[in-house]
Every structure is written in C-alpha cells, then in structure tokens.
Amino acid sequence: MLISLPVQQRPASLLALVVLLVAACALSWPASAEEGSAKTAALGPSTNLPIPRFVSLKKDEVYMRRGPGEDQPIEWVYVRRHLPVEIINEYDIWREVRDADGAQGWISATMLSPERYVMVRKQVGQKDARTPIYTRPDSKSPVVALAQPGVIAELRHCPDAWCEVEANDRTGWIERASIWGVLDNERVE
C-alpha cells in the first residue's frame, strides 16, 4: 500500500535529507590541512609502497601504453635510460606514471627501476639556461658544473632544499627546485 504525503510535507522531508547529507559530509571532511594531506598519501595495492613515488626507466627503450596491458595501444616510446617518472597508480604488474612533461600512461613494472635519478628543469626567467651544481649546498660555494635543461643525474641524497647529485663523473649540490624527480616534502637519504 502506497501512502502519499501532503504536498506541504515533502519539502520539509527533502530539507531534512539535505541537512543530513551536509552533516555527513562535514563529519568526513578533514579537520585540518595536515590531516587531509595524510589521507592523500596512499599505498600501492600491488606493492604496498607509497603513491606517488619516483622511479627511473630501466632500459634504453620503454613503451608507455594507454592502459595496463600489452594489448593496449602504445602512446610513447621512451629511448632514455634512467629517465625519472612518477608512479601515480598501480594495477597488477603495471604502473601508471607521469613524466616531467606531464604525459601519463602505463608501463610494465619490469621496465622500471627503484634507482633514483633526477632531471634538470628549464630555468624560467634566467639569462643563462644552465643550472649551477655547487660543491656544497650553498649558492655561494664554488660551481662544479653547469647543467643544461634535460640533463639526467643520479640522486645521491636530498635531505632538504638541496640535493646531492652525480652526472658525468661530477658530484655536487643542486637546488631541489631546479630538478624534477623528487617530491616536494620527500627526504632521500
């Protein structure tokens, strides 16, 4: 048996439902920005490792596919070993990655290495496109090398705003803001 409510009571019932939904959303909303960012740090379902995280390409030729699976179309062919990529998702043996230019796709985990490399970013607004690498984590220390945008360097460690890198048998310190391949708040020891 279906009972119809009078027209005057329907809006009140709808209003009560909306109030309940708003209250439920407010209770589930993070109390602070810190709590919200803690919730966004996730672990990969396949590896139980943090997502996002950086890795590098293991081979000289690596295919990025539209989806997870060898039957998926190839979107990009990378021909640069050690290129850093950011893992943003996992599915079985596949990793969804993003490169420094923002291209996203899926790469087989067998083509990725946990070895850490970084890429020198293009410096906007500077007269010289090259980025200095210093002997110490201090811009007043002597310069070891000048790196062109796109140079790939091995990441030795990155405790704060400066990261120690090695490229072409030269080791030195570069500002974190000048490289791609390290999360903003990540400490690499």
List pLDDT tens digits, range 104-132: 999 999 999 999 999 999 877 777 789 99
Q: What integer pLDDT is reported at residue 26 of this predicted model?
A: 41
Residue 85's DSSP bridge partners are 55
Percentage above 70 pLDDT, the chain? 78
37: pLDDT strictly greater than 70: no
Q: Which residue has the higher pLDDT, 59 or 19?
A: 59
Mean pLDDT rounded to a whole number for the chain: 84
Rounded Cα distance between 181 and 86, Å, is 7
Torsion region of 181: left, alpha or beta (phi above 0 gives left; psi -120 to 50 gives alpha): left
List pLDDT tens digits, range 65-84: 999 999 999 999 999 999 99
**Least confident interval from 23-27, 98-102, 103-107, 129-133:** 23-27
Yes or no: say if 97 and 68 are a contact pair by the CB < 8 Å rule.
no
Q: Which fold has domain 42-115?
A: SH3 type barrels. (2.30.30)
Q: What integer pLDDT is reported at residue 12 of this predicted model?
A: 43
Q: What integer pLDDT is reported at residue 129 of this predicted model?
A: 87
Burial grade of 96 (CB within 10 A; 0-12, 13-18, 19 or more): buried
Rounded Cα distance between 42 and 1, Å, is 49
5: pLDDT strictly greater than 50: no
23: pLDDT strictly greater than 80: no
**Which of the listed CATH numbers 2.30.30.40, 3.30.70.1290, 1.10.10.60, 3.40.50.2300 matches domain 118-180?**
2.30.30.40
* pLDDT average, residue stretch 161-187: 96
What pTM, to 2 d.p., does this model score?
A: 0.77
4: pLDDT strictly greater than 80: no
Q: Which residue has the higher pLDDT, 17 or 61?
A: 61
Q: Which residue has the higher pLDDT, 178 or 8?
A: 178
Ordered strands of the 162-167 beta sheet: 143-147, 131-134, 170-175, 162-167, 152-157, 117-120, 179-180
Domain with CATH 2.30.30.40 in the chain: 42-115, 118-180
Q: What integer pLDDT is reported at residue 40 of this predicted model?
A: 56
